[in-house]
Structure 1
Amino acid sequence: MPHPGWSTFSFDGIGTRWEISTPDQLAPVLTGELLAAVEEYDKTWSRFRSDSLVSRLSRGAGSITLPEHAAALEELYAVTYRLSDGAMTPLIGSSLERLGYDANYSLTPLGAAQAPPRWEDVLDWAGTAMTAREPLVLDIGAAGKGQLVDLLGGILRGAGLDDFLVDGSGDMLHAGAHPVTVALEHPYNPRQAIGTVELDNAALCASASNRRAWDDGLHHVLDGTTGKPILTTVATWTMAASALVADGLATALFMVDPAPLEKEFDFSWLKVSSAGSATFSTGFEGRLFT
């Protein structure tokens, strides 16, 4: 929770609710810059917009030039794709659409689950350059919101702000001298918490299968090798220096054991299985309720 007396700038963007908390009210020119950054990110990456940059690739093979921040996103996906043996992939959009999580939010499956094409077979992505060899549905939702949290934090720092909390519906970035205590939402009851964690000049992100669930057991965290929802894990939380890394690894933990990820990334984590058991890293300094 933000500190008492802080001002909060709230808005909707990329399909979710945002709150940016600061000691003083943000100037209109700064709020305008923040909103413009959100709109630009959405217009680049959204598979729900026909006018987005990546949506061009869903209509046919071709090449696009992405913004500079795409390089960090590609690097994260390349590592998690490798460590998950293809389970975490930016091509998962076609599988989501097949199960009903499409641009119209129909939530009506078109048929049985189906894996997307393999990245190495159909897509060349090197930093800001992306080429699709056939029509593809890109979906970078596993890490994109976290990256946008970082980008907004960068705008605040660029404006000279040292104290802030950027909260994109649970994906958070904190900066300042006073840590904040964050409740960890119960995966089966959003009105309850399973514990708390102190966030101190770091990012905290979560992934949960209950956040976007529909039909009979369907949700948005899919295995890219099968196109099916992952049922063994129900919720994860990760802490890292950047929200991009924290967000991406919160999803990767559904598909990869923590040990390989810990060899590649500096982060801490908490994981709740579908059986109800919780495991966590030694660096995840929180308090779980019994």
Structure 2
Amino acid sequence: MGAAPAPWRFEAIGTTWEITTAEPLDEAARHTVRAVIDGFDQEWSRFRPDSVVSALARTGGAVPAPADAGPMLDAFAALGEATGGAVNPLVGASLDALGYDAAYTLHDRGPLAAPAAWRDVLTWRGGSLALAEPAVIDVGALGKGRLVDLVLDVVRRAAAGDVVVDAGGDLAVRGRPERVGLEHPFDPRRAIGVWEVTDAALCASAINRRSWPSATGGTLHHVLDARTGQPVRTVAATWAVAADAMTADAVATALFFDGGPRLARAWGVEWVRMTTDGGVEWSPGCRAELFR
């Protein structure tokens, strides 16, 4: 029996991708994967001046809705309701104000709350994506998970057998089970447990992944409460397992807030989260192996 092919590793959307298949992907399939990632980025990246959301941020108005607008923004509506408005797709200007902007200035200008009535500003029905006024859409709460699902679809059409699509720790698995370490948010050399994932997706979020100094002392990070424009201070890391990566990614974000466990239960998602005081919580019946 021959050795399994080496994973295909590449950089895209600011992270390292690793795609593992039973047989090597041919160049046509790789080209399609790259095209899917670039197409998604050109529509949804607030870091690209040529993207759809960057154009809307400058002028407002309406454009033909990207194919992913409905699934993602419908999920955002559910996230916003579950978290009392803490999750909001118009949080982009809040991230910019804290320095996590298109130029990565990391220059903290102070907190800026996102528009609370965001659904009056942003609409996505009737084949158009529209902003009643200029605003910065940021789909980071679930967008990478959505893209993992899109790439998985391409890979599964091109390659039979076991598949793992891993985008910087947000991954989807089909076929053979994959054991995934749950990285300790305060010490990346350690894990707080292991989760075996089979025919499902695991997504994680942590306050140590994208952090920078505050102008007033201390540290800022990318997980914001849209109601205040301030980083979350009570939860350090979250992990969620669901049938698809967008759902897992969405719940991993929701778990930074009080309504997250309730949404996870409604969506049938297992989860683990670690609080900033070192405590660990998990969903009833969670199958992760947590170290004590």
Aligned to 1:230: 232
TM-score by length of 2: 0.94
CA distance in 2, matches of 1:14, 1:61: 24
- 3-state secondary structure, aligned to 1:20: strand
Q: Would the alpha carbon gap of residues 157 and 213 (structure 1) be closer, same or farther in structure 2, given more than 3 Å must change?
A: same
Q: Do structure 1's residue 202 and structure 2's residue 200 form an aligned pair?
A: yes
Matched AA of 2:9: S
- Higher mean C-alpha displacement, 138-147 vs 126-135: 126-135
1:166, 1:174 within 8 Å by CA — same for their partners in 2? Answer: yes
Give 1:259 deviation, angstroms.
4.1
Aligned counterparts, 1:78-93, within 5 A: 78-93=77-92
Matched position secondary structure for 2:272: strand
% same residue: 43
Give the letter aligned to residue 78 of structure 1: A
| Contact map agreement 2:224 2:231 (CA 8 A) in 1 | yes
Alignment partner of 2:48: what SS? coil
1:254 aligned partner: 256
RMSD: 1.4
For residue 167 of structure 1, report the CA deviation from its aligned partner. Answer: 0.2
Structure 2 CA distance for partners of 1:169 and 1:224, relative to 1, 3 Å? same
User: Which residue does the alignment assign to 2:181?
Assistant: 183
In 1: Cα distance, 2:107 partner to 2:140 partner:
20
Structure 2 spans left out of the alignment, 5+ residues = none
Q: Are the counterparts in 2 of residues 7 and 24 from structure 1 also a CA contact under 8 Å?
A: no
Q: What is the CA deviation profile of residues 152-182 of structure 1, one whole-angstrom value per residue up to 9, with x for unaligned ones? A: 1111222253310000000000001x20111
Q: How many residue pairs align between the two structures?
A: 285
Read off the aligned partner of 2:97 and give its amino acid letter. R
Specify the alignment match of 2:137 in structure 1.
138
Please tell me whether residue 213 in structure 1 is matched to residue 215 in structure 2. no
CA–CA separation in structure 1 for the residues paired with 2:161 and 2:251: 26
Equivalent runs, 1:119-138 vs 2, <5 Å: 119-126=118-125, 128-138=127-137
SS at match of 1:59: helix
CA distance in 1, matches of 2:239, 2:271: 6
Alpha-carbon contact 1:71-1:128 (below 8 Å) kept:
no
3-state SS in 2 of match to 1:190: strand
Deviation at 1:262, TM superposition (A): 3.3
Distance 1:127 1:21, change over 3 A: farther
Q: Unaligned regions of 5+ residues in structure 1, if any?
A: none
Q: Residues 267, 127 of structure 1: CA spacing in aligned structure 2 closer, same or farther, 3 A cutoff?
A: farther
Query: Which 10-residue stretch deviates more, 138-147 or 249-258?
Result: 249-258
* Contact 2:225/2:232 (8 A) holds in 1: yes
